Amino acid sequence: SEMTVRDALNSALDEELARDDKVYILGEEVGEYQGAYKITRGLLQKYGADRVKDTPITEAGFCGIAVGSAFAGLKPVCEFMTFNFAMQGIDQIINSAAKTLYMSAGQISCPIVFRGPNGAAAGVAAQHSQCFAAWYSHCPGLKVLAPYDAEDARGLLKAAIRDPDPVVFLENEILYGQSFPVTPEVLDKDFTLPIGKAKLMRKGKDLTLVAFSKMVGYCLTVAEKLSKEGIEIEVINLRSIKPLDRETIVNSVRKTHRAMFVEEGWPQCGVGSEIVTVIQEHAFDELDAPVVRVTGAEIPMPYAANLEIQALPQIDDIITAARKLAKK
Amino acid sequence: SEMTVRDALNSALDEELARDDKVYILGEEVGEYQGAYKITRGLLQKYGADRVKDTPITEAGFCGIAVGSAFAGLKPVCEFMTFNFAMQGIDQIINSAAKTLYMSAGQISCPIVFRGPNGAAAGVAAQHSQCFAAWYSHCPGLKVLAPYDAEDARGLLKAAIRDPDPVVFLENEILYGQSFPVTPEVLDKDFTLPIGKAKLMRKGKDLTLVAFSKMVGYCLTVAEKLSKEGIEIEVINLRSIKPLDRETIVNSVRKTHRAMFVEEGWPQCGVGSEIVTVIQEHAFDELDAPVVRVTGAEIPMPYAANLEIQALPQIDDIITAARKLAKK
Amino acid sequence: ASDKILIEVQPFSAHKIEAPSNKVETTLSELRAHYLFMYRMRRMEIAADMMYKAKLIRGFCHLYDGQEAVLTGIEAALTKQDSIVTSYRDHCHHISRGGTIEEVMAELFGRSTGATKGLGGSMHMYNRKANFYGGNGIVGAQIPLGAGLAFAHKYRKEPNVAITMYGDGAANQGQKYEALNMAALWNIPIIFVCENNHYGMGTAEWRHAKNSSFYTRGDFVPGLKADGMDVLAVKQVVSYAKKYALEHGPIILELDTYRYHGHSMSDPGSTYRSRDEINAMRTERDPIERVKKLLLANGFDAAELKKMDKEVKKEVDDAVEKAKAAPIPPDHWLWKNVYAAPANTELRKVDGGYNTPDYDPEYKN
Amino acid sequence: ASDKILIEVQPFSAHKIEAPSNKVETTLSELRAHYLFMYRMRRMEIAADMMYKAKLIRGFCHLYDGQEAVLTGIEAALTKQDSIVTSYRDHCHHISRGGTIEEVMAELFGRSTGATKGLGGSMHMYNRKANFYGGNGIVGAQIPLGAGLAFAHKYRKEPNVAITMYGDGAANQGQKYEALNMAALWNIPIIFVCENNHYGMGTAEWRHAKNSSFYTRGDFVPGLKADGMDVLAVKQVVSYAKKYALEHGPIILELDTYRYHGHSMSDPGSTYRSRDEINAMRTERDPIERVKKLLLANGFDAAELKKMDKEVKKEVDDAVEKAKAAPIPPDHWLWKNVYAAPANTELRKVDGGYNTPDYDPEYKN
Ligand SMILES: Cc1ncc(C[n+]2csc(CCOP(=O)(O)OP(=O)(O)O)c2C)c(N)n1
Ligand SMILES: Cc1ncc(C[n+]2csc(CCOP(=O)(O)OP(=O)(O)O)c2C)c(N)n1
Ligand SMILES: [Mg+2]
Ligand SMILES: [Mg+2]
């Protein structure tokens, strides 16, 4: 059967609310409005206003309240309408959620999930399009997950909620409405995916393509297309950006000897720079060519559709770069 | 003559306040208290309370006020007591200061300097030791500078204040009291350094060491020591983390064929990962060995002195890594 | 037409300040101007709604219809030397600060002739020369920014105020309180204008604010509340506030208003409030109808009004057509104005190449 | 010793609530306990000051001497099932929640026997079992955190409150206002305790707060002000507030107090306030002297007091010695408790190698 990412996230939340009464949801418009992007649809009706809490537009405050309640043993799922707005509360994510277990010598854990759409959507311009994967994955104490398909969305979100550590869960608005095949296993109410493990989406011997979130889909398309030209691409879906599954990446590169990373975020100190670095640290002698990164353009996001397209990796950009790399 | 970094910063502020009456300073304890770290000593007395403004402990608010006043054409120097606290106002730095020139199609510039100590000090533990170089340099629209010595401090701060763009100016508390030789040229009231240019601190043919801020000093020490073993190290002081002077770095690596980056910040998506990536993108075929990064340990900063030492690169760590790399 | 008309607006509520008189004077020619301006806004927003539905506009699009009297009254009390900053609901501010409807429509269509050349989009319009500082997509961010604009006026000893406009939802933001405190400590000439349209997205004021008398929430900062559906009341209270702010520092104005449309185009606007409520607003409190009635009651020629309406509709229709016909921004604009001083800067492209950006606020090259 | 003693404390000031009676009852044994606890804190902080000057302590170190009555009165009104969170000025909270002076000193010295094993340092002490949630180095952060702790009590239907303690400087923080609003909307049983020691670092309250009557700054949240130098006044007002909070939700308490030392060890504490001011506080309002006088006036044995003092001094001296003798944390502790579930996680070391971290809150391995 098929399932949209939206339904995958919604069902994951539903099941985890049902499973553990310490789990609750808070954020703007998560309740009566059913979620700005309808991820929490139906949950207020099912679990009541004590467990699905609409907040005022005060990210610093509700993020801090969520973290405090997690210190006390609850398991909040804190929705940001988008991750751009989480910057207003980011001090609580970094200085309180991520660091307290360590500072308290293991006494106070923080089982919380910060979730919401991250990165570019369509036509929402510079203040609503930033990718925060690099920032959060920079910080020890946090785990950072980014689902691509419905299986990821269910398995990773359920794992994140059950995890005793603070998890930053980066969704993609454009994927919400996209449908993916799901097996009965994925639909099981105890289906979870391991945090810290990447998924090999497609095997190939000529080139390794690594990506997360929406770019995984692009890479799969590119792999299909280039397969017709005789280029066999291995596609890795990171799933977990922190911890990073270095082993899966490096093993693939040992086989293909060529690697490329694709992300929509900015290049400097991006996720791509880390992936390139890890590959050259662990498989330098295996590389037949420099690792390539295809990233979002190094500019604030423009509004006009024709400019926006050029500010983000397109399938053709990836094809061009992959072809070039495969020939090196 | 010699000058401490503190005096270099203080004199730079003094001269720029004198030069341009649009320049003003705001921040916590910058006035009557003379600066938490005495960087603004004497300035309130000299320029008065309209131009040296003590703020309440409300980073989001005063950061936003500073940015608004810069939109209107003033040139604020916004001091954060440390950059850890800037997280409370970071939304204004990224979404307002960095992006508005672009979003306004070039209409509204933001001539502001955000400055203060960044990264680890001594014994201040996890919430007061974070390095934000990677985060800020991720974001287009910002310029990010990090002085090492008194020359840097004067030349870069004066350049930053005169620059029409938002500059994040990352100082280091431990360097404040350190003295460095300065030439008369450096003491000239119109001495500035170009933004976006690194400085070759020392020539060498065997190995390129790249660093910023306090780690530049460590690298120089290491170069001296290893020189006695016959290893000649070239040391590059980044000065500007964004824009990054790729040319100076790559040219050096073309000569030495071996490169290493040292930083106190965390590894994943750090400044080091960008430097490694840039080198392998531009000088892959020139490399005799993988580029090495020596970074802060991937943990929140512990308090105890013996643990703190292990959480940060020490001179011996750099020596060991450099020796190994030189032999590869 | 220059004969004085005396009107009693709804009395103002006051917090820690004496309320201004609710007896205001106007003239037919002033009323005509208000009507015209509000009707232009109304038609423009209706056009934006249609164009959005026709898929000519992308992303977020927040409409201002219903709230026209607020901005119109504010502008009637200010000069273009007074600074203004608002939220993402900013199309009309572009007009009130001297821009054209065509520029707004072109921006929404992502055209090179747009208010911000297609770079900013719906939420990011500005007019630096007329002291309009945007358009801000982050709830609450415009509040300290506005205080900063006012700070600059004071610093330069100019006889001007800044106005920051924010919603009832934004009124809960912590940065508002931080800005209030500093503005009061430093006597900054800032008018905090809370446009209370009673909903922050889908959340009614009583669900998001423990105290929804927003004019009282400044504690030590005085506040006034006015009928935000009455342009004359708004003008009166803002004139009074400007004078106060220049002498004493910050003041809060709560302007009671209503948005007819949903929060943005993805919100039908009818799940969290009743159709009856919306209809009642339209029939009983519409700011444009109010002025229309006043005009007619005071002898303004009905035919002339019809003619004005027709001209406005034509202006909007023409603007839409011209905007549709305008070229999209050329590719190389992507790299302009990331920095005002781009020396030594190269910006990385998607394909891994680098671009040398330029500063070109006139988009000449 | 169990005879009731009746005392009139300074009347409370009230905002939107009725003040509790200022007539309180106590006993000699209660006074004795307060005295003992406050004196222990005092001696501990004096020892910390000396040890800092002897360079046995690094980094920031914020002392609590002068403010002892605040925490003592609070704890007298609460149980250890009530949660508490405070700022970086947290040494005494470690004691009040069941820790030892030795643990505090060892932490300051960076020893493995410290309150947080040498990991946290001065600003980061906790006692999860006794519901003490730190120690927070970021001004204001503890305020929403405290509301979150209270939220959890309510969520679990426990008959407990949370207390968040913050300074007069922190009282301006926007996140306080955001937390107040949500706490009020949701009836969270949280007591906001503003420890007004009249300075935020070097800034006097009137320079950082337009309204420095902090108990009135909650707008819709009621507030009470009490003499924070009088442990009985504090106990009275906190007992009253706890009852109120459990029934109605948030309440603010402003406790008027004073810090004798500078802000932290790098601040002499005498450039922005006069020696006279400090001396007057010490001689006229010292919280420990006040209880001492009460004890003696009510027939408590002076010799017994002397003995107690001596014992406390010995306790502190012994704690210092034991802490000094304690081992530093072993190297491999560096890698513990970064994550509670570290599966699949490897943490990068300075040398580029990786460490497999463990979760080991008992530090057994
Ligand atoms: C910090 C932040 N949080 C959330 C959002 C998403 N958002 C945009 S507008 C809005 C509602 C604002 O309501 P209000 O302040 O009343 O203004 P109105 O839209 O009614 O004019 C929300 C939640 C945002 N843009 N910024
Ligand atoms: C967000 C933030 N900004 C600045 C600081 C630096 N700082 C630490 S304590 C302090 C003063 C706080 O004063 P107050 O709230 O009155 O508490 P007190 O120290 O008097 O107990 C400052 C400015 C910080 N730790 N966090
Ligand atoms: Mg609203
Ligand atoms: Mg204080």
Asked whether residue A212 is assigned to any structural domain, the reply reads yes
Contact B77, A74 (CB under 8 A): no
Shared domain for B81 and B152, answered yes or no, is yes
Shared domain for B178 and B114, answered yes or no, is yes
Asked whether residue A241 is assigned to any structural domain, the reply reads yes
Catalytically active residues of B are 59, 128
Domain count along chain B:
2
ipTM above 0.90, yes or no: yes
Cβ neighbours of residue D290 under 8 Å, at least 6 residues apart?
D69, D229, D230, D231
Residue C159, pLDDT score: 98
Ranges of residues in chain B with a pLDDT under 50 are: none
Measure CA of the first residue to CA of the last residue in chain C; give whole Å. 49
pLDDT string in tens for chain A (328-residue length): 999 999 999 999 999 999 999 999 999 999 999 999 999 999 999 999 999 999 999 999 999 999 999 999 999 999 999 999 999 999 999 999 999 999 999 999 999 999 999 999 999 999 999 999 999 999 999 999 999 999 999 999 999 999 999 999 999 999 999 999 999 999 999 999 999 999 999 999 999 999 999 999 999 999 999 999 999 999 999 999 999 999 999 999 999 999 999 999 999 999 999 999 999 999 999 999 999 999 999 999 999 999 999 999 999 999 999 999 999 8
CA distance A10 to B146: 45
Helices C231-248 and C28-53 cross at an angle (nearest 10°) of 100
Q: Which residues does residue C355 pair with via DSSP β-bridges, in sequence order?
A: C347
Partner residue facing D219 (CB), from C175, C207, C219:
C219
CA distance D132 to D115: 12
* Domain, as residue range, for A10: 2-187
Shared domain for B225 and B144, answered yes or no, is no
The 3-class SS string of A54-116 reads ECCCCHHHHHHHHHHHHHCCCEEEEECCCHHHHHHHHHHHHHHHHCHHHHCCCCCCCCCEEEE
Contact B130, B119 (CB under 8 A): yes
For the CA of D71, the nearest ligand: 2
CB contacts under 8 A, A 298-317 vs C, are: 298-300, 302-307, 310-314, 317
DSSP state at residue A163: S
Q: What angle do CA C27, C3, C36 make, to 5 degrees?
A: 30
**Pocket (CB within 6 angstroms of ligand 1):** A 28, 57, 59, 81, 85, 88; C 87, 89, 137-139, 166-170, 195, 197, 199-201, 263
Shared domain for B14 and B135, answered yes or no, is yes
Closest protein CA for atom 12 of ligand 2: D200
Asked whether residue B257 is assigned to any structural domain, the reply reads yes
User: Burial code of D240-271, b = ≥16 C-beta within 10 A, e = fewer?
Assistant: bbbebbbeebbbbbbbbbbbbbbbbbebebee
Residue D345, pLDDT score: 98
Q: B25, B17, B34: which is closest to B52 by C-alpha?
A: B25
Whether C351 and A298 lie within 8 Å, measured CB to CB: no
The fold for domain C5-329 equals Rossmann fold (3.40.50)
Asked whether residue B286 is assigned to any structural domain, the reply reads yes
Shared domain for A25 and A111, answered yes or no, is yes
In this structure, what CATH number is given to the domain that contains residue A34?
Answer: 3.40.50.970
For C132-182, the pLDDT digits (tens) are 999 999 999 999 999 999 999 999 999 999 999 999 999 999 999 999 999
The pair phi, psi for residue B295, each rounded to 5°, is: -135, 170
* CATH of the domain spanning D4-329, picked from 3.40.640.10, 3.40.50.970, 3.40.50.2300, 3.90.1150.10: 3.40.50.970
Shared domain for A219 and A139, answered yes or no, is no
For C196-252, the pLDDT digits (tens) are 999 999 999 999 999 999 999 999 999 999 999 999 999 999 999 999 999 999 999
Shared domain for B87 and B168, answered yes or no, is yes
CA distance A199 to A204: 14
Helices C101-108 and C28-53 cross at an angle (nearest 10°) of 20
Token code pair at residue A167: 């998890």
User: β-pairing, C347-348 with C354-355?
Assistant: antiparallel
The last residue of a domain, from among B138, B153, B187: B187
Asked whether residue B302 is assigned to any structural domain, the reply reads yes
Contact D128, D80 (CB under 8 A): no
Shared domain for A31 and A156, answered yes or no, is yes
User: β-pairing, D162-167 with D190-196?
Assistant: parallel
Asked whether residue B194 is assigned to any structural domain, the reply reads no
Among chain D residues, CA nearest to A242: D345
Residue C2, pLDDT score: 66
3-state DSSP assignment of residue B200: strand
Domain locations in chain D as residue ranges: 4-329, 334-365
Shared domain for B251 and B148, answered yes or no, is no
The last residue of a domain, from among A149, A166, A187: A187
**pLDDT confidence bin for D365, thresholds 50/70/90:** confident
CA distance D102 to D97: 14
Ligand 1 atom closest to Cα of B91? 1
Return the percentage of chain B with pLDDT > 90, whole number: 99
Residue C1 pLDDT > 80 = no
Token code pair at residue C104: 């707004």
CB contacts under 8 A, B 136-195 vs A, are: 137-141
- Chain B contact set for D350 (CB, 8 A): 294-297, 310-314, 317
**pLDDT confidence bin for C365, thresholds 50/70/90:** confident
CA distance D131 to D158: 13
Return the percentage of chain D with pLDDT > 70, whole number: 99
Shared domain for B204 and B309, answered yes or no, is yes
Cβ neighbours of residue D215 under 8 Å, at least 6 residues apart?
D13, D14, D15, D194, D223, D224, D225, D252, D253, D254
For the CA of A30, the nearest ligand: 1
Instruction: State the Rg of chain D over Cα.
Output: 21
Shared domain for B74 and B173, answered yes or no, is yes
CA distance C64 to C44: 10
The last residue of a domain, from among B187, B216, B242: B187
Token code pair at residue B17: 């306040």
Shared domain for A33 and A170, answered yes or no, is yes
Contact B24, B199 (CB under 8 A): no
Residue D1 pLDDT > 60 = no
Residues around ion ligand 4, judged by CB within 5 A, are D 167-168, 197, 200
Residue B328, pLDDT score: 81
CA distance D97 to D106: 17
Contact A318, A263 (CB under 8 A): no
The 3-class SS string of chain C reads CCCCEEEECCCCEEECCCCCCCEEEECHHHHHHHHHHHHHHHHHHHHHHHHHHCCCCCCCCCCCCCCHHHHHHHHHHCCCCCEEECCCCCHHHHHHCCCCHHHHHHHHCCCCCCCCCCCCCCCCCCEHHHCECCCCCCCCCHHHHHHHHHHHHHHCCCCCCEEEEEECCHHHCHHHHHHHHHHHHCCCCEEEEEEECCEECCEEHHHHCCCCCHHHCCCCCCEEEEECCCHHHHHHHHHHHHHHHHHHCCEEEEEECCCCCCCCCCCCCCCCCCHHHHHHHHHHHCHHHHHHHHHHHCCCCHHHHHHHHHHHHHHHHHHHHHHHHCCCCCHHHHHECCCCCCCCCCEECCCCCEECCECCCCCCC
Residue C46 pLDDT > 90 = yes
3-state DSSP assignment of residue A236: strand
CA distance A93 to B268: 17
**pLDDT confidence bin for D2, thresholds 50/70/90:** low
